[in-house]
Structure 1
Amino acid sequence: MPDPQHALGDAAGRGWALARYVFAATLVRSADGGAVVAIVLLAHAQGLPGWVSGLLGASITAPHLFGPFIARRLDTVQDGRKVIAVSALAHGVLLGAAGLLLPVTWVVVPAGLLAVSGLFGPMLTGGVSSRLPSIAGPSQQSQRRAQSWDVASYGISGTLGPAAVAWIAAVTGPLEATLMLATAAILGAGAVLALPRQAPVADPGAVPSPGRTLVTIWRSGPLRRTLGLTVVVAFSVAALPIYAVALAPTLGGAALAGTLVAGYGVGNLVGSALLMIWSLRGDADNLTALLAAAVAITLAVVLPVPNLTTALIAFTVAGVANALFFAATLAARSEYAPAEARGQVFIWVGALKIAAGSAGTATAGTLIGGTVWLPVAAVAAVSAIAAVVCLIERTRATSQ
């Protein structure tokens, strides 16, 4: 007969471990998510041209795509915490060095440092998330609840992190904001080491190469659909900030673009809060497709907005839907990824998601020159089609 006190102690231990996880994840992800804002603000303060600021920002984000090629170490090493901690430490040191050198040296030097720091970015996002299954507990309910907290970590670091950077830059200066992020990453490295140790794969030789892992994702129906929908939705929601900039003047002023984008960020946080109360239930593969369709619907709702209030509500609802969708993708990655490649699966999906977001921003900026609503209408249609295709594919697979 199970010992109630032992079970209670296990639950309390997992709760404390999850709290440490959220703290560590928020620290390192804030450093990753706010880095572009800090560096762009610093470049602007130095009087550098806009294209140079963009180049510096891209130096951080573009290398994320190469993260999976260094991620195999996460699944083979005896203690994955050390890999993530070293990644966070390197990211912080390189980011701080780039910020200090930008005012006093050629731009190519800090750009190179930022590019190297960007290589470690996926370790701070998907890499950290790959540690969660061993912390959350064995039941699906405990896993889903822990994933809700993980979504909250992403929401806090992705929304409040850049906002804090902008505030610190306005009060003390962009260099101080950059150094604050670097410090957060370094402190986060120590917090990662305080997480529970995850049992390594029994045979490190069984861990596949990055290319083989991508093939595994493609051959697994649930993982393939999760990756495809993650890429499509990331590409789609990246159009919202561009649309907000174009829409704001018709609602009362260009400055309202920031309000609309903030509304989307608040929606992400609200979605995270809802997930903490009511965690997702049901098959993760099915949930991912259904919630991708929900994102498509909310993107369509953003279009016919007659005033600021309705626009702000629509952007917020879109943020809520995206948070729910993201939680479903985390569940799918956790439940369908093979144990010997779990870290690589998380990082592959995360890296391609960031690349898709960058492509979505660039595409929206290109399309919006003619008709303001065209980019959002296009990506809403793409998301809806992708969701329907995945639902049909899943139905056929389960009926066979």
Structure 2
Amino acid sequence: MSERRAGVIAYVTSAVTARSADAGAIVAAVLAGTAVGGPAAGGLLAAALSIPHLIGPLAGRLLDARERPGPVLAGAFLWYALFLVVAAVTLPASIIGAAAALAAAGCAGPLVTGGLSSRLASILAARSTADATAADAASVTQRRGQALDALTYGVAGTVGPAAIAAGAVLLSPAGALAATAGLLLIAAVPVLWLPRTHRTAARAAGGGILRVLLTSAPLRRTTVATVGSATALAAAPVIAAALASSRGAAPSSAALLMALYGAGGLAAALLLIARPLSGSPERLVRIGVAVTGVALLLPLAALLAPSAETAIGGVAFALLGASNSALFAATLAARTEYSPPGAAARVFATVAGVKVAGSAIGVAAAGLIAPFGAGVLILCAAGVCALTLTAVALDAAIASRPSRAARSPRTSLAP
């Protein structure tokens, strides 16, 4: 078996397992907290687990500083697992203690998401001269790998919460939270087989990732597009619930719409593995934001045609999930292309962290807007995408002025 094939197998196995745990842990935290102290406690525990994702620059730096990513990632998975168990054991006695444990667990989150994704490009580059001498063939391999990475998130986002729901019934919400740690223990094994990465001069430099994200025009626009679209897409489950409420349907119909959203994302990721995206990553991101904004408007058709609302809503959410998957693959390509040498993990982890923050803001705002009706909520979500696209376009126009024409897409971390 080639080094690249072995690395991809190890990566996918670890990514699906660890990200299933990450996606399931947030659901388990909400269920466990709600069972002990009501919805407010559930929200507190979810926030405690999510907020530490913002330490992406620090977590990513740990990974960028090592030639062997496996031990760092395995250590992060074990840390995550340990504090999930501590939270589950602590929860019956102290909600605050459980929140502190979950905050500690969440510190490993950026490495499970962006940090792990940042290693995929080097895995796919292994033996590239032997497998494909042409640059365009290497690019196709990278784009196919980015679609595969999007697929791991899609599978994890489906499997993780479903496993937690089953565990909460068979065990208890706290027991399901503790059981999530088992997935992380499993993921810590194959991640040790990830190949080494090459050290660069920029790797020894100090911090400054936030400066890089602000001064590198393509990375800045990619970050804005990522956060803006995440804020808008976070409204999807609230839109599903609002559509169900508008026709007096059972809450389970909202779950069905979100299941179709997930199915659409998985189908799109599989299609992109077979037929990878091509072209400038930044251009693909802009197109992805525009398509996502249009897809967010599609559920309006369900409101305009009550007799076929269920069918139209299902198709609309499947297409919305597909657009999200394609946009995510495009943003991964942009992060890979524009990250400074030796700083990929910090870029990936930082963008992943602010994306989580954007999602949290989006779902909170959607909850506040929901009482005004599904139509208003849909228009607001699509409006966020429109504003995001406008901001990105304005930034590109300003950056293209002669006084800034010589600015390099890449910004070195070296002093």
Give the alignment's TM-score, normalised by structure 1: 0.91
Secondary structure of 2:17 counterpart: helix
Q: Who is 1:152 aligned against?
A: 151
Contact 2:262–2:321 (8 Å) recurs in 1: yes
- CA drift of 1:200 comes to 2.7
How many aligned residue pairs are there? 385
Contact 1:88–1:185 (8 Å) recurs in 2: yes
> 1 CA distance for matches of 2:88 and 2:13?
25
Q: Who is 2:31 aligned against?
A: 41
Which is worse superposed, 29-38 or 313-322? 29-38
Q: Who is 2:9 aligned against?
A: 19
Superimposed CA distance per residue, residues 247-284 of structure 1 (whole angstroms, 9 cap, x where no aligned partner) = 11334322211111111111111111111111111110
Contact 1:79–1:200 (8 Å) recurs in 2: no
Q: Who is 2:139 aligned against?
A: 140
* Corresponding residue to 2:296 among 282, 299, 305: 299
Residues 303 and 98 of structure 1: CA distance in aligned 2, closer, same or farther (over 3 Å): same
Q: Who is 1:28 aligned against?
A: 18
Q: Is 1:179 the equivalent of 2:181?
A: no
Q: Who is 2:213 aligned against?
A: 217
Q: Who is 1:320 aligned against?
A: 322
Contact 1:290–1:387 (8 Å) recurs in 2: no
Q: Who is 2:131 aligned against?
A: none
Contact 1:136–1:142 (8 Å) recurs in 2: yes
* Corresponding residue to 2:71 among 75, 82, 88: 82
- CA drift of 1:393 comes to 4.4
Over 6 Å off, 4+ runs: none
Q: Who is 2:97 aligned against?
A: 109
Contact 2:150–2:325 (8 Å) recurs in 1: yes
Superimposed CA distance per residue, residues 57-102 of structure 1 (whole angstroms, 9 cap, x where no aligned partner) = 1110111112323321221234232222111110011112211221
Long gaps (5+) in structure 1: 1-8
- CA drift of 1:229 comes to 0.3
Counterpart residue identity of residue 122, structure 1: P
- CA drift of 1:216 comes to 1.0
> 2 CA distance for matches of 1:17 and 1:77?
17
> 1 CA distance for matches of 2:217 and 2:357?
22
Contact 1:286–1:391 (8 Å) recurs in 2: no
Percent of pairs identical after alignment?
Answer: 36
Q: Is 1:277 the equivalent of 2:274?
A: yes
Residues 236 and 79 of structure 1: CA distance in aligned 2, closer, same or farther (over 3 Å): same
Contact 1:201–1:340 (8 Å) recurs in 2: yes
Which is worse superposed, 375-384 or 274-283? 375-384
Secondary structure of 2:301 counterpart: coil
Contact 1:75–1:201 (8 Å) recurs in 2: no
Counterpart residue identity of residue 11, structure 2: Y
> 1 CA distance for matches of 2:106 and 2:181?
13
> 2 CA distance for matches of 1:309 and 1:100?
44
Which is worse superposed, 171-180 or 222-231? 171-180
Secondary structure of 1:368 counterpart: helix
Structure 1 residues 1-400: aligned runs within 5 Å: 12-46=2-36, 48-103=37-92, 105-137=93-125, 138=128, 139-202=138-201, 204-206=203-205, 208-209=206-207, 212-251=208-247, 252-305=249-302, 306=306, 307-391=309-393, 393-394=395-396
Q: Who is 2:412 aligned against?
A: none
Secondary structure of 2:197 counterpart: coil
Give the alignment's TM-score, normalised by structure 2: 0.88
Which is worse superposed, 276-285 or 60-69? 60-69
Residues 280 and 121 of structure 1: CA distance in aligned 2, closer, same or farther (over 3 Å): same
Superimposed CA distance per residue, residues 120-157 of structure 1 (whole angstroms, 9 cap, x where no aligned partner) = 10110000001111101251111111111110111111
Which is worse superposed, 388-397 or 197-206? 388-397
Counterpart residue identity of residue 135, structure 1: I
Contact 1:27–1:184 (8 Å) recurs in 2: yes
- CA drift of 1:382 comes to 2.1
Contact 1:95–1:114 (8 Å) recurs in 2: yes
> 2 CA distance for matches of 1:54 and 1:326?
27
Long gaps (5+) in structure 2: 129-137, 406-415
- CA drift of 1:395 comes to 6.2
> 2 CA distance for matches of 1:115 and 1:392?
37
- CA drift of 1:315 comes to 0.7
> 2 CA distance for matches of 1:97 and 1:342?
32
Counterpart residue identity of residue 172, structure 1: L
> 2 CA distance for matches of 1:97 and 1:171?
20
Residues 15 and 391 of structure 1: CA distance in aligned 2, closer, same or farther (over 3 Å): farther
Residues 217 and 371 of structure 1: CA distance in aligned 2, closer, same or farther (over 3 Å): same
> 2 CA distance for matches of 1:230 and 1:288?
8
- CA drift of 1:359 comes to 0.3
